[in-house]
Chain A
Amino acid sequence: MLNKLTLAQTIEGLKNKKFSHRELYADVQKNIEEKNKSLNIYLTLNNQALDQAEKLLNTPLAGAPIAIKDNYCTRDFRTTASAKVLDKFKPQFDATVIKKLKNAGGVMIGKTNMDAWAHGSSTETSDYGRTLNPRNTEHLPGGSSGGSAAAVAADLAITALGTETAGSIRQPAAWCGVVGLKPTYGRVSRYGVAAMASSTDSPGPITKTVEDAAILLNQIAGHDPLDGTSTAQTTPDFTQTLNTPVKGLKIGVIYHDITGAEFANEKLMEQLKVLENLGATVEKTTAMDPHYAIGVYTVVQRGEVSSNLARYDGVRYGNDRSYFSDEAKRRQMLGTYTLSKGYAEKYYELAQKVRTLFIEDLKKLFNTYDVLIAPTSPGFAKKIGVTEGQAMFGELEDMLVEASSVAGLPGLNVPYYRDEKTNLFLGMDIIAPMWREDLVIQVGDAFEKNTAWNSWRTQS
């Protein structure tokens, strides 16, 4: 049962010789053998993981097994982004994040399923079949990092990496009842991650605890000369605000009156009493209507997709453009349309102006509040098959995280409610100003450690 450990526990246990790499990997592999076929989490497994891990005891991550979303380029190791266009693609290099992870002693246990090209919020658009939510297999894991979130929830890895453009870390983390941290845009290098929307793509951790997210972010963050938009700021130690009192912090609750999110908001207000009891002030406030964020994100994302996916020309990456499935076709073409002559102003310029309104609106709220909190998703994980024929499924599901995404802000999903009947979870999204991951970690960690969350885990 060593696969059930958190990353912090795993590192501690390995370093103090409480168990060996062999024992740890045996438990993880056994669980993978039992569950991977039915849940469809890993697309490709690393059969050299144990050999690699055994040499890494004296590193920060000590050789812990980590699930990697399949849109990170991994040298000489199949990388598909869940798209048949890249069916046999083996990158000639490691993404910067992968390089950093390997240097820190993290071991890739396998590459996880996702929405093809990360286009979606369900993992149903994968060209390799949907992933099931391990909490309740009649439901979806969310997406696009659904495989990574499911791997963590089902203990098929100790921890995982996902990527987010607008919701793709936080929403699957919410649906699978785990922790997901979308860093500030520019905090983590995008180099070597199959590009989706370059102006918002943010690689980040999906983990069992907030502490694990801080540990992992410490290893993957930092300036990368190969990514012109990565920050030149020094990287703080993100574990510093763990176990830090939240007394005196001002928390604003936004999106509390959204139709369709009544239950999620009712339970959220109940649960935020935990933070109030710790001395934080919690009050409802009003942010710009998130419905407008759907339009902004749709235009920006489709436009950037149409440019980024133009490179898959069947010359350098394997299969040709006839291998694109529906969602990728739809998005590239809509992006081509909204950026074409005569429409760029009508759509793209307008969206980028409204994007400014969102940035300014959130900035203003942060004059009053240290962090803002809302439900990550309006409700529980949806049933399988629900995305069929819905052109705007993901955008509607991700509405509550889109404003912070287009503004580039850090956001952290922390589970706050579990439905006893369905075993499904609700997660809260804690957002802070640019570069203030320390704040979301502080608040998320305080909430997590003062609730029954850790006991929920063992019930799954």
Chain B
Amino acid sequence: MKNSVTPQIVAHIAKLANIPVTQVEQEKLAAGFSETLDVIDELNKLDVKNVPTAHQVTGLENVWREDTINPNTIFTQQEALANAAQTHNGFFVVSRILEEKDA
């Protein structure tokens, strides 16, 4: 394996991706990442100088819609909350992301 992704890098990516991983998983994932990056590195054998990037295949550009409300695609409050793990007085309950200073 040419690439070597460390468990520390995996831990950092896990934080960025907001995915909880255990230490055991970190090591397993690190090996898998190295293997995958080796496959991707094969692309460097090709000459892509002056080759444009293909971000899409349809050729469509600037697809707009009218800035109007489509009654077929709006949810009632009840519908919007239907799959929420936790609600309170018609609101989503989310985890706290800010802490009080000195709290």
Contact = CB atoms under 8 A, between A and B. Distances in A.
A314 B85 contact: yes
Given A186-B58, A334-B33, A392-B36, A316 B43 contact: no
Contact of B82 (A92, A320, A351, A353): A92
Given A316-B84, A337-B33, A353-B48, A229 B60 contact: yes
A333 B17 contact: yes
A354 B56 CA distance: 13
B51 interface: yes
B58 A315 contact: no
B82 A407 contact: no
Closest 7 CB pairs of A and B: A408-B57, A391-B32, A352-B53, A353-B48, A336-B17, A228-B63, A355-B54
A73 to B, nearest CB: 11
B69 interface: no
A315 B56 CA distance: 31
Contacts of A229: 56, 58, 60, 63
18 contacts: A186-B58, A199-B55, A225-B65, A229-B60, A229-B63, A292-B46, A294-B42, A295-B42, A299-B40, A316-B80, A333-B13, A333-B17, A334-B36, A338-B40, A352-B54, A359-B54, A391-B31, A391-B35
A395 to B, nearest CB: 7
B17 A347 contact: no
A93 B32 contact: no
A356 B83 contact: no
Interface of B: 5, 9-10, 13-14, 16-21, 25, 29, 31-33, 35-36, 39-44, 46, 48, 51-58, 60, 63, 65, 73, 75, 79-80, 82-85, 92, 94
B55 A350 contact: no
Q: How large is the interface on A (under 10, 10 to 19, 20 to 34, 35 or more residues)?
A: 35 or more
- The residue among B10, B13, B33, B52 with the most chain A CB atoms within 10 A of its own CB is B13
Contacts of B10: 333
B94 A353 contact: no
A340 B17 CA distance: 10
B76 to A, nearest CB: 9
Contacts of B54: 352-353, 355-356, 359, 406
A349 interface: yes
A338 B20 CA distance: 19
Contacts of B63: 228-229
Given A226-B73, A329-B21, A329-B29, A351 B56 contact: no
Contact of B36 (A291, A298, A314): A298
A346 to B, nearest CB: 9
B53 A349 contact: yes
A332 B19 contact: yes
A375 B79 CA distance: 46
A117 interface: no
A320 B20 CA distance: 10
Contacts of B85: 314-315, 318-320
A88 B17 contact: no
Contacts of A335: 17
A357 B58 contact: no
Contacts of A322: 20
A90 B52 contact: no
Contact of B39 (A231, A295, A306): A295
